[in-house]
Structure 1
Amino acid sequence: MLAESALPSLRIVLVWVLALLALWMIRRLLRALKTRIRNHVDVLRDSRRIETLMNVFRYTANIVIVGVAIMLTLGTIGISITPILATAGVAGIAVGFGAQSLVKDFFTGLFLLIENQVSEGDVIEAAGKSGLVERVTLRHIRIRDYDGSVHFIPNGMITTVTNRSRDYAYAVIDVNVRRQEDLDRVFARMEEIGRTMRADPVVGPLILEDIDLAGVEKLEDASVALRCRIKVQPSRQWRVRREFLRRMKAAIDTVEEVAPQS
């Protein structure tokens, strides 16, 4: 009879021992998985994303395992869990209707992280705002625009993400010249500026390929728009574009100063 009275206690101890063992194994598995993933990605770029995903998986596993252990414990000591499950179901429905936007933010943020659409340090445009991504969470994305304003964008509001700093970028440049200009000479000048920029010790490392001349982009009554592009490192297109325009302006001024003398 003593053995029969001790049986429920042994079952409860066994349930919690197995629960703790399962939690320990999951944590070990997640640590090993995190280490393996970090060995195949850029740690500085993706460490925050990996850490966030691991925390989500760990918290989810903790809730599921602890919840199952509690229900088994209550069933072992003779407390019916059917009313508890029914109450939890009704409460879950009520919370779901009241927190739809929060749930949408959570799942959207989860897929943003899993699919690696956004990482900290990227320059993106989302929900009508653009800037540098300072933080990515399951709830929102925090970006800072060019004038320093900080925008908090709930993930549920994001339908399209334009990432301007992934792998490489193009500095697209339009140059307006007079219709009387010799276009071949202007194109040669643009190619020369592209070569000198790539050979420059400061700007050169930012440029990945030689300048690509697209040709005449627009023809106006008094001017002609010429377009070119330069393949550059991510988020460096604006600096390269400004430097090219500065050098192009200096080259045009030099030609205009020499022309009257000749």
Structure 2
Amino acid sequence: MISSWTWPDTLIEVGVIMAVMAITWQLARVLSRRLVRMALVNQQRHLPLPGLSNTRTRRLLGLDHPRQAQRTKTLGSMVSSVAGFLIVFIGTMMILSTLGFPMGPLLTSAGIGGVAIGFGAQTLIKDFLSGLFLIAEDQYGVGDIVDLGEVSGTVEEVGLRATKVRDANGQVWYVRNGEIVRVGNVSQGWSNAVVDIPVGYQADPDRVIEIITGVVTGIAEEDQWKETLLETPTVLGVESLSGTSMTFRVTARCVANQQWGVQREIRERSKVALDKAGIPGPAVPFGGSGGLT
């Protein structure tokens, strides 16, 4: 076979193929990262909230967080790796063909081996493909609080094969990406703080709404909470009635994962303001307990 080579034409042809492979690989890496970056920027441009500038929205929602840069790097790396594999495979086949190797039997053997490996690694392939789409679609990232069905908690690691989640008890769960059929993400975009405030049934509803409105307006005007609240909290009014109490509901749109602090602040200040105004709390049945929820 070697004697059939035409020297030095064969080596020159092989060298040209390898040079084209190297140049194409470098171009593919640059283009893949630019395309991924452009896609992410285009996606983020459609996320501004009413009443907020696009710059402040991006900052409040965490769109300028290093996670976005890491996501771009990860996706670009994966796309360039796939492109690199295809370039190397096609280039290798061209070099072998140039050297005179019979390609028919080689491709047939590779096809049969690929099918065998595919059948034996279906679960692994499913996990990797699911992980690729999870990262590409940014369904969740490290630090997000998610509900994955049987497991809920904080995401500590996102891989192509599995996701690492730590629940409220501190237990770490490793969930295969191929087994995730639904995702509830508390941390994506923004969160909604919901506070129910019970008062005595005999209280004047208009007076209670006025007091609570003053409380939430004051919170929204403080510098400490301006960077947390995306809008002034809303007092929806009477949510429910019972024989001994009325419950008023307050909602507040805030930065992701900050709803618990907002809820505690609204409860505490509302309790102080209602007591100061002489608004009675709900009557407590014998042996029971009452309070803000």
TM-score, normalised to structure 2's length? 0.77
Deviation at 1:38, TM superposition (A): 7.8
Name the Cα RMSD after superposition: 2.9
Asked if 1:44 is matched to 2:74, the reply is no
TM-score, normalised to structure 1's length? 0.85
Deviation at 1:226, TM superposition (A): 1.9
The 8 Å contact of residues 139 and 154 in structure 1, kept in 2 or not, is answered as yes
Question: Secondary structure, in 3 states, of the residue corresponding to 1:133?
Answer: strand
Match for residue 179 of structure 1? 201
Stretches of structure 2 that go unaligned for 5 or more consecutive residues are 43-62, 282-293
Q: 1:26 aligns with which of 24, 28, 35?
A: 28
Match for residue 10 of structure 2? 8
Q: Aligned equivalents of 1:110 and 1:156: distance in 2?
A: 10
Q: 1:190 to 1:84 in 2, by over 3 A?
A: same
User: Structure 1 stretch 52-61 or stretch 206-215: which is displaced more?
Assistant: 206-215
Count of residue pairs the alignment pairs up: 259
Q: Aligned equivalents of 1:124 and 1:54: distance in 2?
A: 25
Q: 1:125 aligns with which of 144, 147, 155?
A: 147
Match for residue 52 of structure 2? none
Deviations 1:127-164 (A, max 9, x none): 33333333322222333334433332222122222222
Q: 2:103 aligns with which of 81, 85, 93?
A: 81
Aligned residue identity for 2:72: I
Q: Aligned equivalents of 1:208 and 1:125: distance in 2?
A: 24
What percentage of aligned pairs have identical amino acids?
32
Asked if 1:112 is matched to 2:114, the reply is no
Deviation at 1:35, TM superposition (A): 6.4
Question: Secondary structure, in 3 states, of the residue corresponding to 1:227?
Answer: strand
Aligned residue identity for 1:7: D
The 8 Å contact of residues 33 and 77 in structure 2, kept in 1 or not, is answered as no
Question: Secondary structure, in 3 states, of the residue corresponding to 2:198?
Answer: strand
Match for residue 19 of structure 2? 17
Q: 1:39 to 1:176 in 2, by over 3 A?
A: closer
Q: Aligned equivalents of 1:180 and 1:118: distance in 2?
A: 47
Q: Aligned equivalents of 2:167 and 2:4: distance in 1?
A: 72
The 8 Å contact of residues 71 and 81 in structure 1, kept in 2 or not, is answered as yes
Question: Secondary structure, in 3 states, of the residue corresponding to 2:6?
Answer: helix
